[in-house]
Amino acid sequence: MSVIRPKTEDNNHLLVLVSLLSLAVFLTLFVLRALDDNRLTSWQWVFAGIAVFKVLPLLGIGLAAAYVFTRLPIPGRFLPAALFLGSFAAGALFWSEPEAIADAARYFTQAKHLEVYGIGYFLAEWGAEIKAWTDLPLVPLLYGLIFSLFGETRIYIQVFTTLLFSGTVFLTYLIGRELWDRTTGLFAGALLLGMPYLLTQVPLMLADVPTMFFLTLAVFSVVKTLGRGGTGPLVLSGTAVALAVLSKYSAWLMLTVLPVIVLARVSKGPNGPKTVLRRGLSILAVSLFIVGGLAAFKFDIVSEQIGLLRTFQAPGLGRWTESFASTFFFQIHPFITLSALAGAAAAVLRKDLKFAIAAWPVLLVVALGIRRARYIIPVLPMLALMASYGLSRIKDTAAKRFAVASIAAVSIVIALFGYLPFLQNMSAANLRDAGRHLDAMDADGVEVITLPQARVSINPAVSVPLLDLFTEKNIVYRPGEPSASPGDASTSPLRFTWEYENPRYYAGRPDSPGGRPALAVIASNFDEASLASIRRRIEGYRLAGEFAVSDEVFAYRSLIRIYSPTQKTAHLGGDGNG
């Protein structure tokens, strides 16, 4: 007992130190929050008007929960399952947030084409009738299949993206276990919960979280297959690489990690260099065969997209920037960043070439100056692996476990009680709430009228699919004169909205047995000029609901008024939007 007691006391001292450091780091970031220039969840906005002493008790509860969790007698064989289920539960906490990023309109529109017209139409018309912008087909195809199988309801998309997030957590664990050991893998998976910004992206109908999953799947499958071989695994590994290629163009850059994996396996693996190289070439051949089919079928479209990425997206990275300090210290728990740096130093000293597999994508982000948090989401599992490797240098197991649990707990508290309330009070929440209100109304359909935005260069028509995502009513949208794009649209991150074309499934029918539809008017404000422009159109209607949550942060605002007909005399065809 005399030997164990000092060790226990030492552990307690370390746990107290970790807790105090966690609180001190939060207080430091809170004081320095003016340095956070994130474009969505900057601490300047998230914690505006919030007293720090209201957050500290919540952090204390989170740290206490982390301590209890590290003391739970969970059998080791159940820890990976607990990690998967826990990460799914963490992602589900954010399902109530609105679609805060306008890009969701693109993915919804493409997916709905598949739902309405079928997968054959989707494959034939992707990039033609279905405007693809710079999107690749895999993610909207998956979303469309979900709509087709389960219905056009957002919750099914959120369950899917949250499963992909949990799958990424599990794959990160598997990569860490394959490269080093089980504990490193478990810690790496858990550290993905220590990134508040990432948690807010899980429920959104975008391509970032799915791309993160497919990229991580590709890395794991190649790491695993190069070490073991086999025809089936080689085919599956090549398929995984192809899925990553088809998910998002930015994944192509990150897939340059695959030659690094081959080099690491050649130099340290138990198999001969020729065997590893042969397996690597087999994986490449399978992936090229799959991707080559799409490239040949849609060569002109892919070429046009790559040209747009080169002339518009790449220069835009210099304009739409966020600082690395914001991303790696505010939007990601700073302990993760510091541990990753420590891991890099330890790997250099130990000459551990396997660490390069995790480090390569992160080094690309830094070297190429990719300064936008959304664009680096796919490489976050690699950052978590780097950090876990750094933490593995700590000898005290209890302190390591509590450090990882406290990182996750503090980040979840910040995201849940800081980021989520902020996002729920964005004007994007009006689209969500208006959709629910429309579903509760006794109306056969809804006609949407969009008015020009007063403060931002964005095509107001992009609000229509975002509203459609939140309602089961049939939407009719027939704009009058198209909005004129401003002179700066060619360099705007919202340029895609000016190339948005009204899908024909919103054209409506010439008659409707239920009579006049409800009206939903979307505007940036409802001043006298706005009301005057729709006065004739709302004759015979009464105001049935208004959704006017308005933040003072973002220029794009979607305020909504819903009108119901005073009598059912006209059909859904009606007039245009006027």
Q: What is the pLDDT of residue 75?
A: 78
Q: First CA to last CA across the chain, in angstroms?
A: 84
Residue 9 has, within 13 A of its CA and on its CB side, a CA count of: 6
CB 459 within 8 A of CB 481: no
Per-residue pLDDT, averaged over 184-208, amounts to 98
pLDDT digits 0-9 by tens, 200-219: 999 999 999 999 999 999 99
Any residues with CB less than 8 A from the CB of 480 and at least 6 apart, and which?
Answer: 576, 577, 578
DSSP string covering 342-391, please?
HHHHHHHHHT-TTHHHHHHHHHHHHHTT---GGGGGGGHHHHHHHHHHHH
pLDDT at 512 over 90: no
Query: Across the chain, what does the average pLDDT equal?
Result: 89
Domain ranges of the chain: 4-424, 429-565
Q: What is the pLDDT of residue 8?
A: 46
How far, in Å, CA of 122 to CA of 109, rounded? 11
Instruction: Give the bridge partners for 522, in sequence order.
Output: 450, 560
Q: What is the pLDDT of residue 43?
A: 97
Per-residue pLDDT, averaged over 499-514, amounts to 71
522: exposed, middle or buried (Cβ count in 10 Å: 0-12, 13-18, 19+): buried
Per-residue pLDDT, averaged over 527-544, amounts to 88
The tokens 């906490």 sit on which residue?
93
Q: How confident is the model at residue 511 (pLDDT cuts 50, 70, 90)?
A: very low
Out of 170-174, 292-296, 336-340, pick the least confident. Answer: 292-296
Q: How confident is the model at residue 394 (pLDDT cuts 50, 70, 90)?
A: confident
How far, in Å, CA of 130 to CA of 39, rounded? 29
pLDDT at 1 over 50: no
- Sequence-separated contacts (24+) of 64-71 with Cβ below 8 Å: 65/409, 66/402, 66/405, 66/406, 66/408, 66/409, 67/15, 67/402, 67/405, 69/405, 70/398, 70/401, 70/402, 70/405
Q: How confident is the model at residue 577 (pLDDT cuts 50, 70, 90)?
A: very low
CA 106-111-117 angle, 5° bins = 125
Query: What letter would DSSP give residue 510?
Result: S
Q: What is the pLDDT of residue 490?
A: 65
**Percent of the chain whose predicted confidence (pLDDT) is above 70:** 91
Residue 416 has, within 13 A of its CA and on its CB side, a CA count of: 16
Task: Report the candidate in 144, 101, 42 with the shortest Cα–Cα distance to residue 503.
Answer: 144
How far, in Å, CA of 574 to CA of 517, rounded? 9
Q: How confident is the model at residue 76 (pLDDT cuts 50, 70, 90)?
A: confident
How far, in Å, CA of 418 to CA of 42, rounded? 10
Per-residue pLDDT, averaged over 45-58, amounts to 91
Q: For the whole model, what pTM was predicted?
A: 0.93
Q: How confident is the model at residue 298 (pLDDT cuts 50, 70, 90)?
A: confident
Q: How confident is the model at residue 578 (pLDDT cuts 50, 70, 90)?
A: very low
